[in-house]
């Protein structure tokens, strides 16, 4: 446990100070169970500094990313209130190590979800849906990592931006999504790329957190996962996302 706590301090300090670190897997033999324990301990350090958990994010939700990492299931990380960026706000590039952004769908829960649930049951627990941009930022050197590495690093989650909330009965199965940098399209995709339907990602989120003895709480935000590949950020960019029937969101980089 002492080793896991020390590794949690390492990844937490890397995120807090925007500092590169070597892969943990270079010097430690870690499995997914140990990686999620490190993630939980690192987030606990944030809570001790006053941050509050407000939801969770899903990762590796596209078949292409699963194949790239050689895995057959999604991963997850935690969201805190300090990670939220207001719609239209500017972020500071120097607060990140390797910042990238990807288009997503966000859910707001009106009641808890726990354990194995169907997609229909998961969607029935949704209060509202919104377009979202997640800023991912692996703290590992050269943006290279193993699966346990990325899980320990809170699944690369760093910040997120939400557009306006919409009613929950909108058909999310195949919504067009266009992410732009300075008005130029850089990613064009569909919500169907998120496990075939974002609702499946929400159901998977309930299953995954249950393995850690947790549940998705009422009022939590759940990011369903990237609908396209992520693009690298740089100072001076204006990033926007338009999602069919859901609206738009965006931020700038200074």
List the single range of 66-75, 131-140, 167-176 with lowest mean pLDDT.
Answer: 66-75
pLDDT attached to residue 156: 92
| Position 20 pLDDT exceeds 70 | yes
| Pick from 62-76, 181-195, 237-251: least confident | 62-76
Distance CA 182, CA 35 (A): 37
Q: Is the pLDDT of residue 71 over 70?
A: no
pLDDT score of 29 more than 90: no
pLDDT at 68: 56
What pLDDT score was predicted for residue 65? 62
Residue 140: which residues within 8 A CB-CB, separation 6 or more?
20, 21, 22, 23, 149, 153
pLDDT at 172: 98
Structure tokens at 247: 């609206």
pLDDT at position 63: 67
**Least-confidence region, from 73-77, 78-82, 132-136, 161-165:** 73-77
Q: DSSP H helical segments within the chain, as ranges?
A: 2-17, 32-48, 63-69, 119-124, 147-152, 198-210
Record the pTM.
0.95
d(CA 39, CA 34): 9
Strand order in the sheet with 238-243: 90-91, 247-253, 238-243, 176-181, 184-190
């Amino acid at each position: 446990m002492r080793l896991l706590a020390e590794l949690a301090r390492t990844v937490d300090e890397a995120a807090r100070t925007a500092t590169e670190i070597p892969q943990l897997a270079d010097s430690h033999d870690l499995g997914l169970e140990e990686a999620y324990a490190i993630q939980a301990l690192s987030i606990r350090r944030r809570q001790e500094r006053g941050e509050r958990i407000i939801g969770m994010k899903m990762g590796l939700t596209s078949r292409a990313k699963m194949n790239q990492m050689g895995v057959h299931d999604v991963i997850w990380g935690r969201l805190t209130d300090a990670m939220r960026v207001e719609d239209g706000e500017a972020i500071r590039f120097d607060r990140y190590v390797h910042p990238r952004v990807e288009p997503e769908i966000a859910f707001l829960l009106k009641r808890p979800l726990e354990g194995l649930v169907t997609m229909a049951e998961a969607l029935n627990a949704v209060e509202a849906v919104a377009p979202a941009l997640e800023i991912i930022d692996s703290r590992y050197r050269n943006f290279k990592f193993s699966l346990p590495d990325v899980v320990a690093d809170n699944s690369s989650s760093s910040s997120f931006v939400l557009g306006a909330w919409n009613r929950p009965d909108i058909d999310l199965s195949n919504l067009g999504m266009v992410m732009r940098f300075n008005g130029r399209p850089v990613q064009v995709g569909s919500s169907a790329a998120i496990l075939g339907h974002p609702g499946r990602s929400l159901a998977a989120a309930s299953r995954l957190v249950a393995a850690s003895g947790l549940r998705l709480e009422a009022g939590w935000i759940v990011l369903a996962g990237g609908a396209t590949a992520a693009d690298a950020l740089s100072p001076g960019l204006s990033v926007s996302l338009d999602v069919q029937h859901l609206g738009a969101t965006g931020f700038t980089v200074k």
